[in-house]
Amino acid sequence: MGRFSGKNVFVTGASRGLGRAVAEAFAREGGHVGIGYHTRREDAERTLALVEAAGGQGSLFQFDVRDPGAVGESVKLFARDADLDVLVNNAAIVRDQHIALMSFDEWESVISVNLHGAYHCCRAVLPRMMARRKGAIINVASVAGLRASPGQANYAGSKGGVLAFTVTLAAEVASYGIRVNAVIPGLLTTGMGTRLDWRTVDRRKAMIPLARLGTAEEVASAVLFLASEDASYVIGQHLVVDGGLSL
């Protein structure tokens, strides 16, 4: 039996990249995974196929994390006949631009998805977790929330907000048996890392003590640790998985 046999795990932004790797990892440990996605139906169906191939069960949920009503309805449908054990807030976007040229839409859209989206999802699951006095929430942040990331003031602001939100929420709900933590990925070989110019990647890789990019699977392993009973005494922490980039 895996660590998440009989457990229900809701993952946002799970149609590809890190979210897909996280969904697969929970499936390999026996979890039933709610695969949240916004627009990429075919990619989400691919994630579902991989979840099932890994030995788990999965369900697809299309919604926009900026819409609290849609978030709440998706959580309600997923948890209709079962408990909700784990939430992974992974949905995020980037709209990079120098701050002097950044439009308000570029600023607001990133904050709305990355930070407001995490808030909406937490608000949707907390009543169920609080009633059971049990649950785990893992928020996916970024090294951009820890150090300067020129051209990403909106993204850095959103991820820094996620880290502050994680600590405060952890303190608020710990007495209900709910553990809230964050994982901080560095530069990965999948997802947003693949959209960077190769010269930018080479410059950043030269700053990583391990001298390589990370993999989505390495970050997924950290997510599973924080969601599992192996981390039963861990709350409000930021687990950095970046090869030393933030040192």
Q: List, by residue number, the catalytic residues.
A: 155
Residue in this structure with the two tokens 């850095």, named with its chain if needed: 156
Residue 124 belongs to what H/E stretch? helix 117-132
| Phi/psi at 50 (5° precision) | -70, -35
Element at 139 (helix H, strand E): strand 135-140
DSSP single-letter state for residue 143 = G
What span, in angstroms and rounded, lies between the C-alpha atoms of 82 and 233?
A: 25
SS3 content of the chain, % helix, strand, coil (to 5): 50, 15, 35
Q: Which amino acid is at 173?
A: V
Beta bridge pairs of residue 8: 32
Closest by alpha carbon to 95, among 44, 16, 158? 158
Which residues neighbour 125 within 8 Å (Cβ) at sequence distance 6 or greater? Answer: 10, 75, 84, 87, 135, 137
Residue corresponding to tokens 């003590």:
209
